[in-house]
Amino acid sequence: MDRGSFFAQTAPLCYASGMVDSRRRAGTALAGLLLLGVLAAYSTLLLVPVYTNTNGSDFGVTYDPAARLFVAGSNPYTIPLYVQPPALSLIFAPLTVLPAEPARFAWLLLEGLLLAAGVVATLRVLDFKLTGFRWAVILLVYLSPNISWGWMIGQSVILMFFLQAVGLWLLRAGWPFWAGVALGAVVLKPHLLAVELPVLVSAPRQAWAGAATAIAALLLGPELVGIHLLEPFVVKLVQQVGEERYNKLTPVDMFVNLGGGPPWLHALGWVALGALGLLYLWLLWRVWQTRGQRAEGRGQRAEASEGSTQHAARSTQHSALSTPAVQAAMLAAFLFLPYTLAYDVILVAGIYLWRFRANGYRLDRALTWNLGLLWLLPILTLALHARGIATTLNPLLIVGLLLLVQSRGPSREVAPGDESR
């Protein structure tokens, strides 16, 4: 075959291939524009009204007034819903130099940066390689209604998410002590330490020391410098036990506490919460067992190769978010904690991305259903609340994620360099 006939035969194939590629790129661009349009409509219809409702802002109603009392030398715990350690007031104190509304907007911007930085750190922990389609999945998770709601009302859980993400990233980078400091700082929202405890249990002991240091510094440090608010904080915390809140993440609360049922049903609900607490402790024990197994495996690999120490350390830190046992225990914390609200789901949102990546960057049926619930359930909850039905469907998010973690699992793990989609 001469050169002219060869090109005559192959040219149509190349042209057809180019057409397919151009159509694929055009389709991707169109999908991206449609997604941006949907997000713009979503922001306009849902997020903007949430932000403009000053009375619904946690920052405007709780954090900022408490910080202003704190700066004035008064007791911030006279603010009805403020039940955070004194150290959190130190974080909000610089914003009190601004009037209330500009301070609220400044906190919104700062939390937006913390949210973006936390997402980036989470992606680094998961070795997440970015394409247009994967960006769409990331936005689908982190701009979902509950998470966006928490951001718009200035909820401090965005700060806790940032601390969690930094802690996981530091673990992966081989800095366990400082990772423990970051994870221990979640004590600024004390009950959420139960969500981070499985990660700490799975981490090296230096992380335990770091967490203990951070907890002691944040709880006792203000007392040492003459800010004597620890006792009022503890008193307020005890008073809040048993108080009902709307939009919780505990399944028992979905049916019992918010439903205003008879006393015996309410008591049965607390018994069920106790059983869920035992489930959490059992899952923590599983994490401890897998930690021991990994330590034994690392020791065997270290004997086999001198250069394996750093690789083994990185493998261990990566497992802090990628081990189903750790994920299940983190989710179980939401099942029994009476004070986790819908926006706190951000602390386990990385599980959606873990499943997506581990499945070869593909949306399997189970993950697709869970992403659908992530968007649908908050909207249905608001619809029920608007009709005077004081209950929430959001606990099904946690149940669905737990079933996802405990399911058969991804069909294959993405190998380095296999980033085709």
- Where are the alpha helices (H) located in 323-358, listed in sequence order? 324-336, 350-358
DSSP string, 25-72: HHHHHHHHHHHHHHHHHHIIIIIHHHHH-GGG-HIIIIIHHHHHHHHT
Per 3-state DSSP, what percentage of the chain is helix, strand, and coil (rounded to 5)?
75, 0, 20
Identify residue 241 by its one-letter amino acid code. V
CB 233 within 8 A of CB 77: yes
Q: Where are the domains of the chain?
A: 53-239+246-290+313-406
Q: Which long-range contacts (CB under 8 A, 24 or more apart) does 132-137 make?
A: 132/28, 132/31, 132/32, 133/28, 133/361, 133/421, 134/356, 134/361, 134/421, 136/31, 136/32, 136/35, 137/352, 137/353, 137/356, 137/363, 137/371
β-bridge partners, 341: 248
Q: Which residue in 106, 108, 118 sits closest to 182, CA to CA?
A: 118
Tokens matching residue 143: 């701009």
Specify the pLDDT at position 313: 44
Name the phi and psi angles at 341, rounded to 5.
-105, 175
Q: Give the list of residues 6+ apart from residue 353 with CB closer than 8 angstroms, or none.
A: 122, 123, 126, 128, 137, 138, 141
Burial code of 377-401, b = ≥16 C-beta within 10 A, e = fewer?
bbeebbeeeeeeeebbbbbbbbbbb
327 CB neighbour count, 10 Å cutoff: 26
DSSP string, 147-166: HHHHHHTT-THHHHHHHHHH
CA pair distance 96, 111, nearest whole angstrom: 16
Q: What is the pTM of this model?
A: 0.84
Specify the pLDDT at position 307: 46
Specify the pLDDT at position 131: 82
Q: Which residue in 353, 373, 407, 366 sits closest to 146, CA to CA?
A: 373
Write the DSSP symbol of residue 359. Answer: T
Specify the pLDDT at position 381: 80
As to burial, measured by CB atoms within 10 angstroms (0-12 exposed, 13-18 middle, 19+ buried), residue 205 is exposed
Give the CA distances from residue 315 to residues 3, 297, 310, 349, 359, in Å, rounded to whole numbers and listed in that order: 53, 11, 9, 21, 19
Specify the pLDDT at position 312: 44
233 CB neighbour count, 10 Å cutoff: 23
Per-residue pLDDT tens, the chain, 421 aa: give them.
555 554 455 555 555 555 556 666 666 666 666 766 676 676 566 677 777 777 778 999 999 999 999 999 899 999 988 989 999 999 999 999 999 999 999 999 999 999 999 999 999 999 888 887 888 889 889 988 889 889 999 999 999 999 999 999 999 989 999 999 999 999 999 999 999 999 999 999 999 999 999 999 999 998 888 888 889 998 888 887 766 666 678 877 666 655 556 777 777 777 888 898 999 999 999 999 887 665 555 544 444 444 444 444 444 444 566 788 899 999 999 988 878 888 999 999 999 999 899 888 988 888 889 998 988 888 888 777 777 776 778 888 898 898 888 876 554 444 444 454 5
SS3 state of residue 74: coil
As to burial, measured by CB atoms within 10 angstroms (0-12 exposed, 13-18 middle, 19+ buried), residue 49 is exposed
Q: Give the list of residues 6+ apart from residue 165 with CB closer than 8 angstroms, or none.
A: 117, 118, 119, 121, 122, 125
